[in-house]
Amino acid sequence: MTAPNQQRPTVHIAGQSGAHPTPGGDFSGGAGTPLMELNNVSVFYGDYEAVRGTSLPVRQNQITAMIGPSGCGKSTILRSLNRMNDLVPGARVTGRITYLGQDIYARDVDPIQVRRNIGMVFQKPNPFPKSIYDNVAYGIRINGIKGNLDDMVEEALTGAALWDEVKSKLKTSGMALSGGQQQRLCIARTIAVKPDVILMDEPCSALDPIATSRIEDLMQELSSTYTIVIVTHNMQQAARVSHYTAFFTAEVDEKQVRHGRLVEFSETAKIFTSPTDKRTEDYITGRFG
C-alpha cells in the first residue's frame, strides 16, 4: 500500500537536488522502511554528554515511543531529530541522523527546512496569542505555501479532529480553548505545513484523561499520513499507541556522571511482553524507575 504522505511532494532539506537515496540500514526490531535513522548519536550540553551512542530507525507511518526514567535523555534525543537543540547554547550532536538518507546536520542543510519536514508538538499546549484561524494559517503564510488559505486551515483543523468544535468561532483566540483543544490546535498548526514527521514531547502530560484519550485516538489516525515519534512518561500510553518502543536508561560512569543510553528498541508488543534486556523488564514491571 502506498503511504499517503508519499503522494505529497517531498521538500528537500539540503541545497543539493536529485533523487533521494533509498533509506537503508540493518536494524533489528521489525520490518518497514526507516524514514529517519540515528547512527551512534550522542548529544552534549557543553562538556556534559547527556546521551551516548544511540542507534535506531524511525519507521515510516509508524508511531515510535521513547520511554525511560527521568533524565535518561528522551527529550534530548527527540529534539535532536529536528535540530531543536541548535537553539540551546552549547548543545552539540555527534554521530549521524538522516532523514530520507540525508544527514540533517550536514553543512548545506537548512535547519528551518528540517523543522518544516519534521514538526514538533510540545508538552504544554502553546498556541500563539492569535485567533484559531491565524494560529493554523501562520506556518502556511510564513512558508509561502500556495493554495486557498481557508481550505488549508479547514483541512488542518479537520486533520487534528478540531474542526467541528471551532468552525463557528475561527476568529476567537486560540488561548480561549480548553487544554485538550489547545493541544489539538497545536497539532493542526504543525500539520498545516504538511510535515513528514511529527515529534511529540509528552503531548498529554498537561491534559485530563478524556483529552488524553482524544489525542491518543488522533495519533492513531495521523499515523496513516505521518510518521510520529513520541516521548512519554506513561508506559500504558506507549503500549496503547505505539508500534515501536525505545527504552532508555541513565548509566553512571566511573566518574559518577550520568549518561542516557538506549537499552532496547523493538516492536512495542515485544518490549512489553518479552523484553530482551533485564533493565527493560525491571522498568516495565515497575521494579525500577
Ligand X SMILES: Nc1ncnc2c1ncn2[C@@H]1O[C@H](COP(=O)(O)OP(=O)(O)OP(=O)(O)O)[C@@H](O)[C@H]1O
Q: Which residues bind ligand X (CB under 6 A)?
A: 45, 50, 68, 70-76, 88, 233, 260
Grid cell listed for 228: 510520529
CB of 264 to ligand X, least distance (A): 15
Output 92 or 130, the one with its CB closest to ligand X. Answer: 92
Q: How far is the CB of 83 from ligand X (least distance, A)?
A: 14
Closest by Cα among 271, 273, 258 to 69? 258
Nearer Cβ to ligand X (75/268):
75
CB of 71 to ligand X, least distance (A): 4
Long-range contacts of 280-287 (CB under 8 A, 24+ apart): 280/247, 283/67, 283/68, 283/69, 283/247, 283/249, 284/235, 284/247
Cβ of residue 13: shortest distance to ligand X, in angstroms? 24
Q: CB-wise, 98 or 232, nearer to ligand X? A: 232
**Residue placing its CB nearer to ligand X in the complex, 19 or 87:** 87
CA distance 185 to 121: 10
Beta bridge partners of 265: 246
User: Could you give the 3-state DSSP secondary structure of residue 239?
Assistant: helix
> Can you say whether the dihedral through the CA atoms of 159, 160, 161, 167 is positive or negative?
negative
- Which is nearest to 73 in space by CA: 55, 91, 49, 94? 49
- Residue 284, C-alpha cell as written in the block: 516495565
Q: Minimum CB separation from ligand X for residue 198, in Å?
A: 18
Q: Count other C-beta atoms under 10 Å from residue 78's C-beta.
A: 20
Minimum Å distance from CB 90 to ligand X? 7
Residue 76 or residue 225: which is nearer to ligand X going by CB? 76
Q: Which is nearer to ligand X, 68 or 159 (CB)?
A: 68
